[in-house]
């Protein structure tokens, strides 16, 4: 059964919110965030107005890659609590109209997952073919030239059996073999396990890499036209990434999703360089992902012409009936308040206004709503294996994973006072939830008003997108029949013409409620929503 338009409204018209659970709220004083901590913050999230939470992995993991190395897909890691806690989060969320999405990690398991432990027993092991094994090349070296996303060869020799296994990420994250039907069946069970418990959907980790070239062909050399990471690797990822057969797997999960009364949401981590490639993950608009993260947009500069061009291309090429996603931060990239805004609150508000007013579902990352910047990480603080490996050339992903500052106290109300969180607390005295709740002019108060406007105004929630002509460094677009969003993304005031109606949302609260008719002066790095 295909989802009808009404079934999509909760997420298409809503705002979704990513939680990095280890860094959200520590309920038991061990320095790590946990599920009880999230439950204790549900009222805050409901007041913020978000429709659903996506939790980065909370399943059992030895934490070589902080949860993205899964050792049991159907249980909760003790660091976070228990299955009962997860059930409670789902039911307490439902009482507040906040749904829960989990993270599905199908490309690889932990090397401690029982499937891999068995696979290593030898060539005849039951689960041997669940992973990607290959004989050495003629010179005894790795079977081909594939490079791990996290550096070095993507192959590791298993000496007892004389074969190599593939790991596109850490050595402790062996890649599953998605050509094997038993792997597919096992994941069918896993998705049903969570969906039957009331989980509203999944964010699917690296879903563009799940399946690899069946012949394991060498990747071609990178050229100067390739993205920088591939140039540094020396090869273009043609055969270990973005293979067409990944779409068969997504169609299979979409079919399962559609069997639920409320179809479960499939959101993909589609970290691809081209918008045309992103569009493929929507299939025919109804048979693959509900939404794919747009990394072209995430990686773009906060610049009116650049962002408008991306949005226009998405609008022009998205399959009929499909729906875009917009996000500026996550647990793998520098936070938008740092990367886009350089810590400047006016730019943060503009970025939030863009995310919350475009046609498509915004995903905020925890802390975006208060304009939280990247945390202060010294070499001694590092917890991310990638940062440890590449320091100081790349500081890894810890800066965007520092704990959520709830109050202005030393530990920011994240852990009880006196307990040091697993990563350093940012400057909580400067930026925290409690102070911003109390301040009508704070970034948080702006974010709340923007979410409330988006949810209640049909144009902003579901209406069409049309670019309007406007001066350089401004971005003006119409949503639906009668709502215009005008942004001045420059350091000088700009005059924008053709704005008629009431200002229902403004980055500068003083302007809200005023009527405009014709030419309007818009201050540097500020924006208005005008409804006729
Ligand atoms: C993408 C996840 O977001 C990232 O945190 C992780 O390290 C890799 N996939 C590997 O699972």
Identify the residue whose C-alpha is closest to ligand 1 atom 8.
Answer: 68
Cβ of 65 below 6 Å from ligand 1: yes
Q: How far apart are CA 423 and CA 24, in angstroms?
A: 11
Q: Would the CB of 68 count as within 6 Å of ligand 1?
A: yes
**Closest by alpha carbon to 324, among 341, 338, 342, 311?**
311
| This model's pTM is above 0.95 | yes
CA angle 442, 444, 445 (to 5 degrees): 70
The number of beta carbons lying within 10 Å of the beta carbon of residue 510 is: 9
Phi-psi region at 38: left, alpha or beta (left = phi > 0; alpha = psi -120 to 50): alpha
What is the 104 CA–ligand 1 centroid distance (Å)?
A: 11
Asked if 211 and 243 count as a contact pair (C-beta separation under 8 A), the reply is yes
Edge-to-edge order in the sheet of strand 155-158: 133-134, 163-166, 155-158
Q: Which residues are catalytic?
A: 205, 269
**Per-residue CA distances from 71 to 57, 60, 77, 365 (Å):** 11, 5, 9, 26
d(CA 55, CA 22): 10
Longest Cα–Cα distance of the chain, Å, equals 78
Nearest CA to ligand 1 atom 6: 68
Q: Report the distance separating Cα 252 and Cα 255, nearest Å.
A: 5
Kindly give the interhelix angle for 443-456 and 345-357, rounded to the nearest 10 degrees.
Answer: 10
Any ligand 1 atom below 6 A from CB of 269: yes
Angle 211-195-184 from CA coordinates, rounded to 5°: 25
Whether residue 206 has its Cβ less than 6 Å from ligand 1 = yes
Q: What is the DSSP letter of 476?
A: E
Residues contacting residue 197 through CB under 8 Å, at least 6 positions apart: 86, 87, 90
- The pLDDT profile of the chain, 532 residues, written as one tens digit per residue, is 344 458 899 999 999 999 999 999 999 999 999 999 999 999 999 999 999 999 999 999 999 999 999 999 999 999 999 999 999 999 999 999 999 999 999 999 999 999 999 999 999 999 999 999 999 999 999 999 999 999 999 999 999 999 999 999 999 999 999 999 999 999 999 999 999 999 999 999 999 999 999 999 999 999 998 888 888 889 999 999 999 999 999 999 999 999 999 999 999 999 999 999 999 999 999 999 999 999 999 999 999 999 999 999 999 999 999 999 999 999 999 999 999 999 999 999 999 999 999 999 999 999 999 999 999 999 999 999 999 999 999 999 999 999 999 999 988 999 999 999 999 999 899 999 999 999 999 999 999 999 999 999 999 999 999 999 999 999 999 999 999 999 999 999 999 999 999 999 999 999 999 999 999 999 999 999 999 9
């Amino acid at each position: 059964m295909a989802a009808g338009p009404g079934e999509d409204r909760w997420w298409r018209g809503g705002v979704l919110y990513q939680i990095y659970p280890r860094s959200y709220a520590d309920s038991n004083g061990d320095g790590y965030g946990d599920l009880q901590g999230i439950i204790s913050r549900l009222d805050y999230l409901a007041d913020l107005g978000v429709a659903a939470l996506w939790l980065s992995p909370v399943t059992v993991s030895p934490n070589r890659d902080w949860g993205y190395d899964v050792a049991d897909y159907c249980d909760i890691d003790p660091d976070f609590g228990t299955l009962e806690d997860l059930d409670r989060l789902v039911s307490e969320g439902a009482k507040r109209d906040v749904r829960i999405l989990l993270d599905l990690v199908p490309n690889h398991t932990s090397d401690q997952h029982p499937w891999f432990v068995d696979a290593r027993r030898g060539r005849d092991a039951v689960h041997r073919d669940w992973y990607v094994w290959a004989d050495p090349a003629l010179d005894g070296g790795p079977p081909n030239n594939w490079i791990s996303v996290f550096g070095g060869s993507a192959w590791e020799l298993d000496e007892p059996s004389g074969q190599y296994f593939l790991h596109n990420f850490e050595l402790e994250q062996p890649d599953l073999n998605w050509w094997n039907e038993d792997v597919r069946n096992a994941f069918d069970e896993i998705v049903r396990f969570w969906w039957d418990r009331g989980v509203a959907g999944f964010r699917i980790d690296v879903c563009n890499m799940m399946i690899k070239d069946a012949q394991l062909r060498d990747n071609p050399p990178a050229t100067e036209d390739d993205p920088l990471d591939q140039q540094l690797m020396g090869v273009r990822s043609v055969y270990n990434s973005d293979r067409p057969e990944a779409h068969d797997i997504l169609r299979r999960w979409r079919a399962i999703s559609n069997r639920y009364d409320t179809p479960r949401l499939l959101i993909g981590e589609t970290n691809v360089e081209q918008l045309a490639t992103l569009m493929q993950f929507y299939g025919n608009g109804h048979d693959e992902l509900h939404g794919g993260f747009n990394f072209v947009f995430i990686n773009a500069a906060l610049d009116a012409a650049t962002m408008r061009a991306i949005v226009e291309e998405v609008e022009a090429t998205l399959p009929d009936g499909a729906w875009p996603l917009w996000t500026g931060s996550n647990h793998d990239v520098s936070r938008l308040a740092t990367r886009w805004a350089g810590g400047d609150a006016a730019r943060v508000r503009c970025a939030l206004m863009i995310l919350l007013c475009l046609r498509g579902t915004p995903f905020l990352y925890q802390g975006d709503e208060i304009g939280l910047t990247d945390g202060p990480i010294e070499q001694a603080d590092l917890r991310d294996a990638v940062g440890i490996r590449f320091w100081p050339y790349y500081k890894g992903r810890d800066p965007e994973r520092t704990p959520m500052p709830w109050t202005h106290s030393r530990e920011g109300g994240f852990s009880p006072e006196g307990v040091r969180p697993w990563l350093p607390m940012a400057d909580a005295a400067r930026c925290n939830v409690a102070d911003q709740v109390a301040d009508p002019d704070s970034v948080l108060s702006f974010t709340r008003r923007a979410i409330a406007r988006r949810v209640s105004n049909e144009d902003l929630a579901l209406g069409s997108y049309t670019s309007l002509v406007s001066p350089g460094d401004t971005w003006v677009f119409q949503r639906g029949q009668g709502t215009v969003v005008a942004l001045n993304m420059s350091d000088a005031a700009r005059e924008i013409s053709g704005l008629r109606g009431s200002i229902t949302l403004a980055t500068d609260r003083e302007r809200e409620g005023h009527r405009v008719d014709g030419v309007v002066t818009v201050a540097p790095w500020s924006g208005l929503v005008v409804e006729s």
